[in-house]
Structure 1
Amino acid sequence: MPSLEGLDLHLNTLSSIQDGAFNGLPNLQWLILAGNELSSIPSGEFRRLPNLTKLFISHNSISSIQTGAFEDLLNLDHLDLSANGVSNISRAAFSGLSRLRLLALNDNDLNIIEDDTFQGVPNLEELELKSSKINNISPAAFRGLTQLRDLNLFKNRLVNISAESFRGLTKLSKLILATNRISNISRTAFRDLTNISSLYLTANMLESIDDGLFDGMPGMNSLFLPGNQLRNMSREWFKGLTQLRKLSLMWNHLETIDDGVFEEVPNLVELDLTINLIRNINRDAFRGLTKLTTLNLGNNKIQQIDANAFTHLNHLNHLNLNENLITQFPTTSRETQNLTIDLGNNPLICDCQLIEIVQGGPPKLTLGVCNEPVKLKGRSISSVIRADLNCRTQIYEASTSQAPASQSTASSTTESSTFVYIGIGLGVVVLAVITVAVFIIIKQK
């Protein structure tokens, strides 16, 4: 079968590969051996497959990869060894794979990535090490991977990220460190990652971040920090991230947003602060975020919002304030155009001020439910009309009570003039009556 280009042998309970099994397949390009019972890969197993480009050996029982196991596969660009229980990789296990672009070692038992583990794959672009029980990365573990673009270390057991962990990965664009146990990251751990675009640190145990940790990563587009234990943000955290567009800090323990804390990220478009402990939003909390379109503040403890907290966010389209303790939304925020605000699950007081915003806009308030007055409790704010609140009377009373001093003075002056004229009129009438009475008395005499 010299013309055969693909061979699928998965789920065949194969426990070994006989010598010469692939003789006569010089044009084979892809081979699937997944889901069998292979326990080892002897050196030279695939020497008769010079044109093989893709090899899938996942879900077997291969505990170790010996030196030179794949050295004859000069054209291989995709190798999947996931879910094998691999616990040991010899230093030169991947030697000869000079054209390999993707290497998957997910779901194994590696524990540690030793120095020079990936020697022999200089053109590797994507390395997957998910769920492999890794708790330590040796200083030169990734040495030589100068073309690596994606590194996935999701769901391992890493606690510390040292200054040497990612040394030399100058072309790395995406680094996934989510769902580990990371509590400490050296301030210089990312100093070589000058081309990084996305960094995932979700679901770790970070309580703080060293100032300047991300400095030197000018091309960073997305930074994900949800599910940590961060309490106090520092402006210095974001120093150098001038091109950052997405930032997620949801599900932490943040209590405050200091004025100007986001000024180092002027190009931010999406900011997620959901599920924190934030109580107040100050006027300058989001100062400098003139390009922000989406702001998530749901599931916090927000009670007070400065009247001008959002007015300078000219491009803001969606503001999520769901699940807070907000009773009133500031009227001056109406200046923000094309804005939809989710006020669901807040103890809203449905007064004429709120209804004016709901029915008049902008912004457009959605999903809110009245908590007060009692007669409107449970009603959607979008269904309440002015008549339900006798708003004309309330608006008249409000406008009267808030009249400017000059207007009050003018009213007082007008009232005084009126009393003067009335007094004069009454005086004329009394005088006329007296005159007539005198005239009658004189005539009778």
Structure 2
Amino acid sequence: MRQWLVWAVLWLLVVLILPDARAGSRHRNQDEERQRGKRWRDGQGYIWTSEGRSKPLKIRLVPGPNGPHTPAGTLTFYRNVPELESSYSVIPGKQTHCVYHGLTMFDLAVWSPLPCVTCLCSEGRVVCDEMTCPTMHCPSPATPPGRCCPVCMEPDSGLSPELSGDSPVPSHPEDHIVPLTQEDIQKIVWREEEEHHEEEERLKRKDEARKKRRRERKEREERQRKMVEEKRREEEEALRLQVEKEEEEWRTKIEEAEERRRQEEESRMNEERRKEEESRMNEERRKEEEEQQKEAKEEVEVWLRGDVFQMPTKEEELLPLLVPTYPTKTEELKEVAPEEEEEEEEGEEGEVGEDEATVVLPAGCDISDVSMTCENVQLVHFPPLNVPELKSLSLEGNNISSIPAGAFNGIPNLEWINLKKNKLTSAGIDPKAFMGLKMLRRLYLDENLLDVVPCDLPSTLQELKINENKLRGIDENSFQDLSSLVILELEGNLLSEGNVDPRAFAPLIQLSYLRLGRNHFRTVPQGLPKSLLELYLENNLIEEISETVFNRTTNLNVVSLRHNKLDETKIAPMAWFNHRTLESIDLSHNDFYLVPSYLPKSLVHLVLVGNKVERIPGYIFAHMDPGLEYLYLSFNRLDGEGIEPESFFGAYHSMMELCLDHNQLIHVPLGISEMTNLHLLRLDSNRIRSISEESICDPEQQGETTLVAIRMENNYIDAMDVSPSAFSCLRSASSVVLKPQKTTQRIHRTRH
């Protein structure tokens, strides 16, 4: 108790001395700081600067150590700093005293009952401030003995000896503790505020730098995105141009192949005619040799009998052969000099001479045995000929515009007449010009100016060609009496279903080959003969195929409808479904989006090149017997989802050639490995990136393989990623074409 009394006296002396000293020091510091332009705090809690008074600090009272029923509390200051710092202001008021743990404290008395806790007697209330340590930004902060917060140990910090730890600090809470002065507290507050402003400026600069980097990164990413997008557009444009170019090349190749096929067909027919002519000539030569041998034998027999006179035979009385022409200024006469033969016989007197025939032809013409050719020699009239044994006559490439009535009287045994590329008109051909030709089998009138079919053609005619003329119609009697006609070609005219009589083809009971391409048909013409085997209607305007159009043509084998306006909805379901002989259909270059359904059961060869096909429906070929063998779907729009697992069902054991090139496939279609009879596979010019081991060759398949060739160039395949067993079913590795491939941006892995 005595010790507490000593302490109370000491505290009373401190309380009496400290306020006056602190007030005087505060006034002196405020005067000095006004001169330096710094801030200071007055006794009412306001902060002063050289410009004036600022907003006061906010004070919150919380219950003190005596509980909520005592006047004591805790004084807490709030400022815009990251951490709170101990500070308080003495508010002058009524002079009174406080009682704290039995001790009487005068007004404005300050004491520290515990470390980091400072109490103040203010108008009869005990207010205690629990200090919170501030964040130190000095290189070596240190906590002095007896203190709870670290301080900076700098020689010029301007702190009092109590802050720097120079003065002794009681080691016991009840020892005498020298409290912080208002000046020290104010300096700490100002320094912390300056450090806070510096920290805010540093954070602001850091945030601005971060925003700048983010903005620059976004701009860089935007530029890269635009560059990638531009490059992608350029690649797509280049790919589109390449596909169009390849499609054009492929179309040209197909047309060239068609032209070659036609030329080969003509060459074959010419070869057959030549062989027939050679056979006929050999037969005639054999007969002549037999006749000569017989005559020689008779002459020997006559000589042995001694007869010296013999009446001339009927053949010897014939006049020399003469072929007259219409000479012009530019024509030259070709003269064959007579040949003289003298035979001398023993026992006979006199000489017998025989003159051979003289033949005069226009320049550039040629005649041999039974054929005569006058092509591209600028004839303007049909030449009057008198060669009864003539079988073949070609006047192609002249300017003949008419054929008179008796033009063929001197050559009645003609079997083949070629009048292509002249200027013949229907009015210029006499109605009875061809009536005397009882042996005529082939008549070619291509590339003239005819607008109707010539009338009264010989009934023996087997082949008639009137392509590239101006035919405006075919009536009921156009082919009257032409029951032997087998081949009829009327391409490149002005024919349509409106000007072709449905009964026009009725007389053609043996017609097998009909070409009506490059006309103006919108539907398949009606009345086609039952005997028809091949029908060609390419390059027309055909939009639909009805159910009845092929009802009579039960023997039809080939139909070509390329370059028309058909799609899968314009073909009647039963148009040709039940045909048992229709094996080949060409629907190239139309408007198909799907492979059409209800195809003929007997179909073997299907061509859909150059359409817009996006999908092959499942089981589309399942009903065919014996099965589809050739499927051409080049230059379409098939992609990874366009071919189903069941698309080729029914053709696994029959398919021989499958062309899916120039599409948009991203992988090898399913079902190809199950095709046991496949010979040729084309997957070039697609978007395929990989080939699995079982996509083409079935590892479980036994026996000899049939696959001969595979083309997969112009894709995105990395040859290093292809497994060697992917093509194990091929007869030879050289049968696989993988180069060149399109370039990509991916990084190729290196195999070690």
TM-score greater than 0.5 by the shorter chain: yes
Matched residue SS, 1:160: coil
Q: Does 1:366 align with 2:730?
A: no
- Indicate the residue corresponding to 1:194 in structure 2: 554
- Indicate the residue corresponding to 1:301 in structure 2: 664
In structure 2, how many angstroms separate the alpha carbons of the residues matched to 1:9 and 1:362? 58
The 5 Å alignment of 1:168-183 reads 169-183=529-543
Q: Structure 1 7/318 Cα, relative in aligned 2: closer, same or farther at 3 Å?
A: closer
Q: Does 1:135 align with 2:502?
A: no
Q: Structure 1 375/79 Cα, relative in aligned 2: closer, same or farther at 3 Å?
A: same
- Indicate the residue corresponding to 1:278 in structure 2: 638
Q: Structure 1 29/171 Cα, relative in aligned 2: closer, same or farther at 3 Å?
A: same
- Give me the TM-score of the superposition, normalised by structure 1: 0.74
Alignment deviations for residues 382-403 of structure 1 (CA, whole Å, 9 cap, x no partner) = xxxxxx345xxxxxxxxxxxxx
Matched residue SS, 2:674: coil
In structure 1, how many angstroms separate the alpha carbons of the residues matched to 2:410 and 2:743? 76
Name the aligned partner's letter for residue 117 of structure 1: S
- Cα pair 1:303 1:326 within 8 Å, conserved: yes
- Indicate the residue corresponding to 1:121 in structure 2: 482
The 5 Å alignment of 1:344-363 reads 344-348=713-717, 352=721, 354-358=722-726, 361-362=728-729
The 5 Å alignment of 1:229-378 reads 229-236=591-598, 238-239=599-600, 241-242=601-602, 244-266=603-625, 267-279=627-639, 280=641, 281-289=643-651, 290-305=653-668, 308-333=670-695, 334-335=697-698, 337-339=705-707, 340-348=709-717, 352=721, 354-358=722-726, 361-362=728-729, 366-367=737-738, 369=741, 374-376=746-748
RMSD: 2.7
Q: Structure 1 77/192 Cα, relative in aligned 2: closer, same or farther at 3 Å?
A: same
Give 1:186 deviation, angstroms. 2.7
- Indicate the residue corresponding to 1:84 in structure 2: 448
Name the aligned partner's letter for residue 376 of structure 2: L
Name the aligned partner's letter for residue 376 of structure 1: H
Deviates more, 1:258-267 or 1:117-126: 258-267
Give 1:331 deviation, angstroms. 3.0
The share of aligned pairs that are identical, in percent, is 26
Q: Does 1:158 align with 2:527?
A: no
Name the aligned partner's letter for residue 378 of structure 2: T
Alignment deviations for residues 310-329 of structure 1 (CA, whole Å, 9 cap, x no partner) = 23211112221111122233
Give 1:351 deviation, angstroms. 7.0
Give 1:274 deviation, angstroms. 0.8
- Cα pair 1:278 1:300 within 8 Å, conserved: yes
In structure 2, how many angstroms separate the alpha carbons of the residues matched to 1:12 and 1:264? 58
- Indicate the residue corresponding to 1:217 in structure 2: 579
Query: Structure 1: 5+ residue runs without aligned partners?
Result: 378-387, 391-445
- Cα pair 1:124 1:147 within 8 Å, conserved: yes
- Indicate the residue corresponding to 2:421 in structure 1: 59
Query: Structure 2: 5+ residue runs without aligned partners?
Result: 1-320, 323-356, 358-368
Alignment deviations for residues 201-226 of structure 1 (CA, whole Å, 9 cap, x no partner) = 11112123222222343222321111
In structure 1, how many angstroms separate the alpha carbons of the residues matched to 2:597 and 2:443? 43
Give 1:374 deviation, angstroms. 3.7
Alignment deviations for residues 88-107 of structure 1 (CA, whole Å, 9 cap, x no partner) = 235xx034x12111111111
The 5 Å alignment of 1:383-402 reads 388-389=750-751
Q: Structure 1 231/94 Cα, relative in aligned 2: closer, same or farther at 3 Å?
A: farther
Alignment deviations for residues 404-439 of structure 1 (CA, whole Å, 9 cap, x no partner) = xxxxxxxxxxxxxxxxxxxxxxxxxxxxxxxxxxxx
In structure 2, how many angstroms separate the alpha carbons of the residues matched to 1:362 and 1:12? 60
Alignment deviations for residues 293-312 of structure 1 (CA, whole Å, 9 cap, x no partner) = 11111111222556x42232
In structure 2, how many angstroms separate the alpha carbons of the residues matched to 1:298 and 1:132? 35
Aligned residues: 365
In structure 1, how many angstroms separate the alpha carbons of the residues matched to 2:456 and 2:585? 32
- Cα pair 1:197 1:221 within 8 Å, conserved: yes
2:411 to 49, 53, 70: 49
Matched residue SS, 2:431: coil
In structure 1, how many angstroms separate the alpha carbons of the residues matched to 2:411 and 2:620? 58
- Cα pair 2:718 2:748 within 8 Å, conserved: no
Alignment deviations for residues 160-210 of structure 1 (CA, whole Å, 9 cap, x no partner) = 224x241xx222222111122222233222222222222111111212322
Give 1:376 deviation, angstroms. 3.3
Deviates more, 1:59-68 or 1:285-294: 59-68
Name the aligned partner's letter for residue 371 of structure 2: G
Give 1:40 deviation, angstroms. 2.4
Higher share of residues assigned helix: 2
Which aligned runs of 4 or more in structure 1 are off by greater than 4 angstroms? 349-352, 370-373
- Cα pair 1:322 1:345 within 8 Å, conserved: yes
- Cα pair 1:66 1:89 within 8 Å, conserved: no
- Cα pair 1:116 1:142 within 8 Å, conserved: no
Matched residue SS, 1:127: strand
Q: Does 1:103 align with 2:103?
A: no
- Indicate the residue corresponding to 2:512 in structure 1: 149
Q: Structure 1 373/341 Cα, relative in aligned 2: closer, same or farther at 3 Å?
A: farther
Name the aligned partner's letter for residue 276 of structure 1: N
- Cα pair 1:350 1:372 within 8 Å, conserved: no
Alignment deviations for residues 310-353 of structure 1 (CA, whole Å, 9 cap, x no partner) = 2321111222111112223343323065444322222236675x
Alignment deviations for residues 343-368 of structure 1 (CA, whole Å, 9 cap, x no partner) = 2222236675x33445x633665315
- Indicate the residue corresponding to 2:387 in structure 1: 25
Deviates more, 1:33-42 or 1:314-323: 33-42
- Cα pair 1:348 1:371 within 8 Å, conserved: no
In structure 2, how many angstroms separate the alpha carbons of the residues matched to 1:142 and 1:43? 27
In structure 1, how many angstroms separate the alpha carbons of the residues matched to 2:382 and 2:638? 61
Q: Structure 1 201/304 Cα, relative in aligned 2: closer, same or farther at 3 Å?
A: same
Give 1:66 deviation, angstroms. 4.8
- Give me the TM-score of the superposition, normalised by structure 2: 0.45
Q: Does 1:7 align with 2:372?
A: yes
